A and B are shown apart, each in its own frame.
Chain A
Amino acid sequence: MTKIVVVTSGKGGVGKTTTSASFASGLAMRGHKTVVIDFDVGLRNLDLIMGVERRVVYDLINVVQKEANLSQALIRDKQLENLYILAASQTRDKESLTQEGVQRVLEELKAMDFAYIVCDSPAGIETGAMMAMHFADEALVVTNPEVSSVRDSDRILGMLSSKTQRAIDAREPIREHLLITRYNPHRVQGGQMLSLEDINDILRIPLIGVIPESEVVLEASNQGLPAIRIKGADVSQAYDDVIGRFLGETIPMRFTEAPKKSFFRRIFSSAN
């Protein structure tokens, strides 16, 4: 059974595309045949982060509009043989994304035996975002620890439970996962960021992971490499934990506490 997972947030710049790229890569690294689709028509980014921007010939809109077939548009990742990318169009209008067209593309992908279809949603609550979530089975709601991002995630959660195909058909609701990105325990302690408890009190959905704020994310996107592929970094470990939890493993949260004491402080206090 193919699972369709939407990566969404409402607010822009919180890390949806970074998460989509790492999440899809992580699933593929664990052997699952995965495709990641960029729904951000007109502002495509996913291909850049995945390092395939020079290999895009046909895109999602071409397939939706039947100007190309799916196998022409799917880009296979060079390192991960289970990973495919379907880019967005940079030149077309987002209105050309029709619900029938999207449904047809998703059905074709299911027929190709993909285990996971990851839909990278654009920011906002316009056509692209609604199309990305419409046929989803599960949702990763990406949220930064600040009030406006949490508020926008709340709005998106409302739409997931009322506007999607599962809601319309009154089927079992979309499984919602909260992913907190750009989390900085020091700034939480300092009161400049919302804590995990604050966010949970507002959104009240299960937490699937906390991605620490890190320079590595920027470096990774500049290299065209999903952050999960950077060896030994906090961010890649945190994303790997997310994959594990998504697949049903029980993994304790990491990177949520500020280091208590510095090395020297510890020596100093133990000497007392």
Chain B
Amino acid sequence: MNRTTTSPFDIKSATIQGLSLILRSIKLDVIEGDLAARVANAGDLFTNAPVLINVSALTAEGTADKLELTRLVNLLRRHTMRAVGIVGATGLLLKQAQALGLVEEPDVQPRVRNKAPQAAPEPEPAPVAEAAPQAPGTTPPVVTDLFADAPASASPSTPTPAEAAVPQAQAQEPPRDAATGRPAPTMVIDRPLRSGQRVYARGGDLVVLGVVSHGAEVIADGNIHVYGPLRGRAIAGATGDVEARIFAVAMEPELISIAGTYRTTDKPLADTVRGKPAQARLDGDKMLIEPLKN
């Protein structure tokens, strides 16, 4: 196919799945003990996982500079994880992180709006490793081959080498453009999405002005709006935003998923919403599909 291409390589935007290690303590002995137990129980989840080390809480407490970062990186490696980035580091710790080859990632609130801010647990501080939301059959497409079939104009920003090179931990994907720090723009697709095409609006909302055919897939970290029949798969809140919603002028999807909670339409949707203007949203663990009223 690309035999006319003279360049020996292509650079494309990519996203990899990773973990975020949110530190609440600098006591590496305690952390290691707890981590070993979690890894033992987690199957393959941690194997070769890229990790973002989030030290925001430590920086706020003023204990960040005492963190033995090199030891932590080695500790992770012993448990088959690879530190690739750091979040919330300043001053000395940031310099140390950069010397270790870690990429500085912006510290913004993850797009999980309904999660109450967690108070630091009193007795035994422990690290928390959060995996990206997993939904059977929905997560793999989010992490692989993202722009492979998208129309040429689908991506609002041209993938840059920097973007391609920086691994992103999906669990902590910010609703912002990592490069500029501005809120991520809404991606607007003004042509029909055909079977086999897939579009991912990273960090923001997705608007499709046309039909999403059977076998097409629309994914957004935020909301999805389809001004036409939605017949393919729609995955909103792909990085865990349980407040994300899916709107369609004619709701007739193969599958809809919000923050990993999904439903297929093997069992048909109710007559009040099937093929009609409707929205899907989460109420706790339950997916509600409701008609849009005037």
Residues of A within 8 A of B (CB): 98-100, 103, 127, 130, 151-152, 154-155, 157-159, 161-162, 167-168, 170, 201-202, 204
Measured CA separation A236–B168 after assembly (Å): 59
For A152, the chain B residues whose CB sits under 8 A away are 195
* B182, CB-defined interface residue at 8 Å: no
CA distance A161 to B247 in the complex (A): 25
Q: In the complex, given contacts A154-B214, A161-B191, A161-B194, what are 19 additional A-B residue pairs having Cβ atoms less than 8 angstroms apart?
A: A100-B4, A127-B1, A151-B195, A154-B195, A154-B215, A155-B194, A155-B215, A158-B195, A158-B213, A159-B196, A162-B150, A162-B151, A162-B152, A162-B197, A167-B152, A170-B153, A201-B229, A202-B213, A204-B210
**Nearest CB of chain A from residue B287's CB, rounded to whole Å:** 26
Evaluate contact between B3 and A158: CB separation under 8 angstroms.
no
Map CB proximity to A onto B82-115 as digits: 1 under 8 Å, 0 otherwise.
0000000000000000000000000000000000
Contacts of B4 in A (CB 8 A): 99-100, 103
Tell me the nearest residue of chain B to A169, going by C-beta: B152
Q: Give the interface size bracket for B toward A.
A: 20 to 34
- Check if A167 sits within 8 Å of B151, measured CB to CB: yes
Q: Which residues of B contact A (CB under 8 A)?
A: 1, 3-4, 149-153, 191-197, 210-211, 213-216, 229
Q: How far is the CA of A98 from the CA of B2 in the complex (A)?
A: 9
**Residues of A contacting B191 with CB < 8 Å?**
161
Q: How far is the CA of A154 from the CA of B213 in the complex (A)?
A: 8
CB–CB B151/A151 < 8 A = no
Residues of A within 8 A of B215 (CB): 151, 154-155
- Assuming the contacts A161-B151, A204-B211, asked whether A98 and B195 have C-beta atoms less than 8 A apart, the reply is no
B3 and A204 form a contact (CB under 8 A): no
Across the interface, which residues of B come within 8 angstroms of A155, CB to CB? 194-196, 215
Q: Write out the residue numbers on chain A whose beta carbons fall within 8 Å of the beta carbon of B216.
A: 158
Instruction: Give Cα A161 to B211, complex, Å.
Output: 14
17 contacts between A and B (CB under 8 A): A98-B3, A99-B1, A100-B3, A152-B195, A154-B213, A155-B194, A155-B195, A158-B151, A158-B195, A158-B216, A159-B196, A161-B194, A162-B152, A170-B152, A201-B229, A202-B214, A204-B211
Report yes or no: B193 in contact with A158, Cβ–Cβ below 8 A.
Answer: yes
B231 to A, closest residue via Cβ: A202
**Which B residue sits closest to A165, measured CB to CB?**
B4
Once the chains bind, are B196 and A158 in contact (CB under 8 Å)?
Answer: yes
A100 CA / B107 CA spacing, docked (Å): 48
A99, chain B: closest CB distance, angstroms = 5
Q: In the complex the two chains form, what is the Cα distance from A201 to B250 in whole Å?
A: 12
Q: B3, B193, B195, B213 — which one has the most chain A CB atoms within 10 A of its CB?
A: B195
Q: Please, how many angstroms separate the alpha-carbon atoms of A162 and B149 in the complex?
A: 7
CB distance from A213 to the nearest CB of B (A): 25
What chain A residues lie within 8 Å of B149 (beta carbons)?
Answer: 158, 162
Q: How far is the CA of A103 from the CA of B214 in the complex (A)?
A: 33
Closest partner residue, chain A, to B232 (CB atom) = A154
Check B3 against A99 for contact (C-beta < 8 Å).
yes
With a cutoff of 8 Å between Cβ atoms, the chain B residues found around residue A204 in the complex are 192, 210-211
Measured CB to CB, the nearest residue on chain B to A170 is B152
**Beta-carbon contact of B1 and A154 below 8 Å:** no
| Distance (whole angstroms) from the CB of A23 to the closest CB of chain B | 23
Q: Shortest distance in angstroms between B10's beta carbon and chain A's nearest beta carbon? A: 13
Nearest CB of chain A from residue B252's CB, rounded to whole Å: 11
Contact of A154 with B3 in the complex, beta carbons under 8 Å:
no
